[in-house]
Structure 1
Amino acid sequence: MPTNLQNERLHFPQVGEVEVVRIKRKDIELQVQPNGQCRVRAPLDLSLADLSALVEKRITWLEAKQAITTLNARRPKEYVSGESFWFQGDEHSLDLVKHGKRSNLVFDGRKFLLLPDAASEGKKWFTQFYKREAKEIVGKLVSKISSRLGYSPTSVKILELGARWGSCSKAGGVNFNWKLAMLPPRIVEYLIIHELTHLDIPVHSPEFWRRVEIAYPEYRQAEAWLKEHGSKTTL
């Protein structure tokens, strides 16, 4: 299992901080996370000095990769064939093709199919698709989780929430961003538990997080996942 329990870090002026993850392997692997954070997976017995020297030799590649990754994370979609879109935690490619369906955009289980004439309004069609799917996905999960944890939200709405994943109202309703349709089911489950807990505890107090952890012990990993991958939900 990968580990960075020693909290090892390298620093290079070109790319900033590089996180060191120790793992059983013979060589090193450089990675750039979607948020631009650099990481190196390294052998357990490789000294930090030797590791730094190896990374230094590939710093030009790492710098270029970081620049491209950061740019792509912010770049709006172009709605062209071959472009990738997230759905329930997996990336699926887009094909501009006449598919014979009623909707301009359909998902066939493997990829998205968009009518070529509808590409100019691609964002509109993808947004409609995600809103429709989020309503079904979130609705079912809220019902299941509420029953298990003893909550009774007065309403469940799928909305445009900007940078927020969810919110709750004073009237006891819960609201969720339609972009939840892009996320893995386990992350959606966490976000639902998070908002349901807010029905009882409005603020992020120690008691709030204690309640969340009881219902979802891996909540810290879920928060880390959202921080690392949240930018991928840009349309």
Structure 2
Amino acid sequence: MMAADGPETVAIASGQVPVCWRRSARARRISMRIDARSGHVILTLPPRARREDALALLRSHSAWVAASLARMPQAPRWHDGGEVLIDGRPHLIRHCPDARRGVWIEDDVVHVSGDAAFLVRRLSAFLREEARVRLGAALAALARQAGLRPTRLSIRDTRSRWGSCTADGAIMLCWRLVMAPPPVQHYVMAHELAHLRHMNHGPDFWMLVDRLTPHRRAAETWLRREGGALLRDMQE
């Protein structure tokens, strides 16, 4: 798949929207979706499809595009004096330009040293490491309790999925999950661990999930309402 470097601003009936173009040898028709992280409209074209036809599709769905973009949650804004969620709790962000400690937490305050231009990048890297440590320990504990043995854990930055489990037992968790409340984290980990026994979403799978965690319903509701904001690209 080939992608353009950045979004192109396209005028439609509802206003101007950012559009990213994709060419895919596997695509059989022109498709359109809204990227949950960036808020861009993604137009995917088969190799020989014309841009004009893709634009016609976009403009014929102008109302849907406008409504979808309006429903998207606001991206978190990270700046000195702002807040970042860790385990679902807001932590004050304090920029410490003269410090030499990187990023550290004291009394629900996240201190970020260095140039302000790199605050978002440094804070993101810090949270990824926190996710590796915190989520890794929690997953290991839940797996031991359940008698399940994942082959490995990877922490990634995914665009739509909070986690996944492969047929060989490898579990992936999105690092942004570290910003969610612990019951939500517990549910996502239970969901992926359950796939070690059931690589489907059948009744036996959901029965196992419910045995592993009491948080399923509340967590699913939280993820529907709040999860989208955590998947958005962070802004200063």
Report the aligned-residue RMSD.
2.0
Query: 1:99, 1:113 within 8 Å by CA — same for their partners in 2?
Result: no
Match of 2:210 among 208, 213, 233: 213
Q: How does 1:215-234 map to 2 (within 5 A)?
A: 215-233=212-230, 234=232
Counterpart of 2:86 in structure 1 is 87
Is 1:106 aligned with 2:104?
yes
Structure 2 spans left out of the alignment, 5+ residues: 1-69
Query: 2:89, 2:181 within 8 Å by CA — same for their partners in 1?
Result: yes
Amino acid aligned to 1:228: R
Counterpart of 1:97 in structure 2 is 96
CA distance in 2, matches of 1:218, 1:72: 25
The TM-score, its normalising length taken from structure 2, stands at 0.63
Higher relative contact order (CA 8 A, sep 6+): 2
Identity %: 27
**CA deviation string 1:68-91 (max 9, x = no partner):** xx78932452x3222111111101
CA distance in 1, matches of 2:212, 2:185: 14
Distance 1:221 1:115, change over 3 A: same
Is 1:122 aligned with 2:119?
yes
Match of 1:173 among 161, 170, 173: 170
**How far is 1:99 from its partner?**
5.8
CA distance in 2, matches of 1:95, 1:211: 43
The TM-score, its normalising length taken from structure 1, stands at 0.64
Counterpart of 1:74 in structure 2 is 74
Distance 1:229 1:148, change over 3 A: same
SS in 2 for 1:192: helix
CA distance in 2, matches of 1:176, 1:75: 20
SS in 1 for 2:172: strand
SS in 1 for 2:188: helix
CA distance in 2, matches of 1:152, 1:116: 41
Query: 1:94, 1:114 within 8 Å by CA — same for their partners in 2?
Result: yes
Match of 1:138 among 116, 135, 139: 135
Distance 1:220 1:204, change over 3 A: same
Amino acid aligned to 2:99: G
Higher helix share: 1
Distance 1:99 1:113, change over 3 A: farther
CA distance in 2, matches of 1:102, 1:71: 39
Distance 1:109 1:71, change over 3 A: farther
Query: 2:72, 2:228 within 8 Å by CA — same for their partners in 1?
Result: no
Amino acid aligned to 1:222: A
Amino acid aligned to 1:184: P
Q: How does 1:194-213 map to 2 (within 5 A)?
A: 194-213=191-210
Structure 1 spans left out of the alignment, 5+ residues: 1-69
CA distance in 1, matches of 2:125, 2:71: 26
Corresponding residue pairs, total: 163
CA distance in 2, matches of 1:91, 1:71: 23
Amino acid aligned to 2:191: H
Distance 1:221 1:76, change over 3 A: closer
Q: How does 1:53-72 map to 2 (within 5 A)?
A: none
Amino acid aligned to 1:85: V
Distance 1:186 1:154, change over 3 A: same
